[in-house]
Amino acid sequence: MPPICLSFDNGPEPEATPLVLEALARRGLSASFFVIGEKLRDPARRGLAERALAEGHRIGNHTLTHGAPLGLRPPAEAVEEIAAAEGLLGPLNRQRLFRPNGGGGALGPHLLRRAALAHLAAGGYTVVLWNAVPRDWDDPDGWPERALALCRAAAAPVLMVLHDLRADAMRHLDRVLGTLADAGAAFTPDFPEACLALREGRLLCDPETISRRDDAP
């Protein structure tokens, strides 16, 4: 089984994020949390992001509102979704990480506008995509088997997207991690190179695969 990198999107949430942090601490694992910027206006949610960082996890930008994918928005609005979220993240986003929202986990040019991609490159961001999405957000009891199947079938390092959003989904996390560990899986905090669109501002892929031109409808 190839190495597995864990990431969690769409938090922080008071009922779900502590379950995730406790499961990761129990297993001695570190992960990356891509947070929705506007949630950090709530002191309790910001406190959870600060806790995750203090416990050795990475915090990244997952847009301000997590509305429509940025490639489907006007260019200026797409840039503002990134910049406004970054303003709220401040020192939490130590490594300048960004993950676009895919609208259900799909990859493609709907992820970004070309102006947003240029903004990310100029800001020295690392843009983190994914290759395993077990859909825990809409199937809280069925996602564990999909996650296990994705890892067992993988021929290359796995970057899994889970969500610290629903407590009823994350209550299964420790069992999934244990099953994978028993099967010999190695967990890593390092993102697979194939899942990076930018590294510290340097483009690693064809921009046509992840962004729409600014004059596109």
pLDDT tens string 45-79: 999 999 999 999 999 999 999 999 999 999 999 99
What count of other Cβ atoms lies within 10 Å of the Cβ of residue 29? Answer: 17
For residue 78, being part of any structural domain is answered with yes
In a domain, 217, yes or no: no
Which CATH number is 136's domain given?
3.20.20.370
Residue 163 annotated to the active site: yes
Determine, yes or no, domain membership for 55.
yes
Catalytic residue among 9, 66, 110, 119: 9
Q: What's the order of all strands across the beta sheet hosting 58-61?
A: 158-163, 4-9, 32-35, 58-61, 97-98, 126-128, 196-199, 202-203
- Domain total for the chain? 1
Indicate whether 216 belongs to any domain: no
d(CA 214, CA 74): 8
Residue 11 sits in which domain range? 4-209
Tell me if residue 9 is catalytic: yes
Question: Could you read off the pLDDT of 88-103 as tens digits, one per residue?
Answer: 999 999 999 999 999 8
By DSSP bridging, strand 126-128 and strand 196-199 are antiparallel
Q: Is the pTM of the predicted complex or chain greater than 0.75?
A: yes
Annotated catalytic residue within 119, 163, 164, 172: 163
